[in-house]
Amino acid sequence: MEAESTENAIETRGLTKRFGRFTAVDSLDLEIARGEIYGLLGPNGAGKTTTIKMLCGLLKTTDGRAQVAGMPAGDRRASADIGYMPQEVALYEGLTVHQNIRFFGRVFGLSGRQTDEREEELLEFVNLAEWRDVLVARLSGGMKHRVSLTCALVHSPALLLLDEPTVGVDPELRVSFWDYFTRIKGRGRTIVITTHYMDEARRCDRIGFMRDGRLIAEGTVPEIQSLAGKEDLEDAFMVLAERSEGGEAA
């Protein structure tokens, strides 16, 4: 389903998540356009995963609102439009690669044949075609990540929420993942991706830098560089983090 009510794939206003007294995500305002690759960066515990989970409706928001694929976050009508890859791989270890993909295909209402067609293409892309009938329990960590990405992509969603999709994936394959992301962006897909890799951050159209639950800087790579007065992105984030601690607006 493609909702036309807004230009943006994602819009949040004051999006907040508290766990007890602890605020994990603090009044987040995001506007992510359709067809954009948006990188969510920030140190461990910054609130990236919590944000993604609220966007795909796995976590209830404490405050604020979020519109995702034209629907309020968590609305089941948007689920066919969303592909979510969790940070922690969630596959059925006792099933084969093929059976896992079949399962996810069925969840999204694809027929066996439709799933098989997608599966072939996707397993080729993640370079796992010959592992199709192997139990997931027998795969390496990086391979499981690749299957997990396949499962998130099986229904050709318009919006991809990818939580560290390239962790443990070897450099060569990481490059081919990014080529693929760029290709599907060209077909109008929106991708929100969390990463700790600066080379990946550089490939995003825009980056949001989170820290302590807040978005402390946002923009294109050149904008972030000029905001911080640093060419190197890692240095730029250090400067912006220090500034935010000093209470100065980034």
Ligand X SMILES: Nc1ncnc2c1ncn2[C@@H]1O[C@H](COP(=O)(O)OP(=O)(O)OP(=O)(O)O)[C@@H](O)[C@H]1O
Q: Which is nearer to Mg ion, 56 or 228 (CB)?
A: 56
Q: Which stretch binds ligand X (CB under 6 A): 43-51, 118-126, 180-188, 232-240?
A: 43-51
Instruction: Give the type of residue at 197.
Output: Y
50 binds ligand X (CB under 6 A): yes
Query: x-or-dash pattern for ligand X, window 7-36, by CB under 6 A?
Result: ------------x--x-x------------
Dist. CA 247–CA 233, nearest whole Å? 21
Q: Which tokens in the block code for residue 219?
A: 């923009």
Q: Which stretch binds Mg ion (CB under 5 A): 12-20, 86-94, 96-104, 229-237?
A: 86-94
**Cβ 30 vs Cβ 10: under 8 Å:** yes
Determine which residue in the list 27, 87, 99, 127 makes contact with Mg ion, applying CB under 5 A: 87
Q: Which is nearer to ligand X, 215 or 221 (CB)?
A: 215
Q: Which is nearer to ligand X, 47 or 105 (CB)?
A: 47
Residue 207 CB partners (closer than 8 Å, separation 6+): 38, 39, 40, 41, 201, 217, 218, 219, 220, 221, 224
The interface with ligand X within residues 87-106 (CB under 6 A) comprises: 87
> What is the crossing angle of helices 141-153 and 112-125, to 10°?
140
Of these partners, ligand X, Mg ion, none, which one is at the site of residue 50 (CB under 5 to 8 Å by kind)? ligand X
Q: Which stretch binds ligand X (CB under 6 A): 45-53, 142-150, 219-227, 233-241?
A: 45-53
Instruction: Give the type of residue at 178.
Output: W
49 binds Mg ion (CB under 5 A): yes
Q: Dihedral sign, CA of 194, 29, 210, 22? A: negative
Dist. CA 60–CA 46, nearest whole Å? 18
Dist. CA 143–CA 43, nearest whole Å? 25
CA-atom Rg of the chain in angstroms: 18
208 binds ligand X (CB under 6 A): no
Q: Which stretch binds Mg ion (CB under 5 A): 87-95, 99-107, 216-224, 227-235?
A: 87-95
Q: Dihedral sign, CA of 123, 129, 132, 138? A: negative
- Percent helix, strand, coil in the chain, to 5, is 40, 25, 35
Determine which residue in the list 45, 72, 94, 141 makes contact with ligand X, applying CB under 6 A: 45
Where along the sequence are the contacts to ligand X (CB under 6 A)? 19, 22, 24, 42, 44-50, 87
Where along the sequence are the contacts to Mg ion (CB under 5 A)? 48-49, 87
